[in-house]
């Protein structure tokens, strides 16, 4: 037992020695760090106080060092800086509207299923709910929350459809 107590100060000394072995870290500018004191003094670097610093090298961009003008750079179709002709835009708008209408139909069908299952707040009891009334109450509350969420989804889809055409559908 005395041997174990003798190891505690030794372990603490080893820990402190390891912490001191790293030395000080210096910050040079916004993103350059060094632990070389001579380099830090030559470049007026400031010591970093506080927590540990981890520096991860970023990836280099292909063609680094080549100046490319935005006006001369070829742009892919649909990029942010490029205009789309009106026919393509109408096609995109129609596709988006079709997707929204399909989502609205699914949400309305789901709402019908939920309301049928909810049965005006008195759904049928399932298996273990006959013996455990709390499970039944939890399921009723979950159904009510699902109905409320689905109503909000439907309202949002109708708003989006109204924005795309100027009039709300259904």
Q: pLDDT tens digits, residue range 68-89?
A: 554 444 444 545 567 888 999 8
CA–CA distances in Å: residue 67 to residues 72, 74, 107: 11, 14, 51
Chain center to CA of 16:
39
Q: What is the predicted pLDDT for the residue at 170?
A: 47
Model confidence band, residue 50 (pLDDT cutoffs 50, 70, 90): confident
Q: Please report, for the chain, the start and end positions of each structural domain, with discontinuous segments joined by +.
A: 10-47, 86-165
Does position 34 have pLDDT exceeding 70, yes or no?
yes
* DSSP-derived secondary structure for 69-102: -TTTS---TT-TTS---HHHHHHHHHHHHHHHHH
């Amino acid at each position: 037992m005395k041997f174990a107590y003798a190891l505690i100060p030794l372990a603490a000394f080893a820990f402190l020695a390891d912490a001191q072995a790293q030395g000080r870290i210096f910050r040079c500018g916004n993103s350059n760090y060094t632990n070389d004191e001579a380099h830090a003094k030559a470049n007026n670097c400031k010591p970093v106080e506080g927590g540990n610093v981890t520096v991860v090298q970023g990836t280099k961009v292909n063609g680094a060092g080549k100046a490319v003008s935005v006006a001369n750079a070829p742009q892919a179709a649909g990029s942010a800086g490029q205009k789309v002709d009106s026919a393509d835009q109408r096609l995109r708008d129609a596709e988006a509207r079709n997707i929204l209408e399909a989502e609205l139909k699914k949400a309305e069908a789901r709402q019908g299923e939920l309301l049928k299952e909810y049965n005006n707040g008195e759904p049928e009891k399932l298996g273990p709910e006959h013996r455990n009334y709390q499970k039944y109450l939890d399921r009723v509350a979950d159904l009510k929350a699902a109905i409320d969420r689905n109503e909000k989804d439907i309202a949002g889809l109708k708003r989006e459809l109204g924005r795309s055409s100027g009039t709300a559908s259904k």
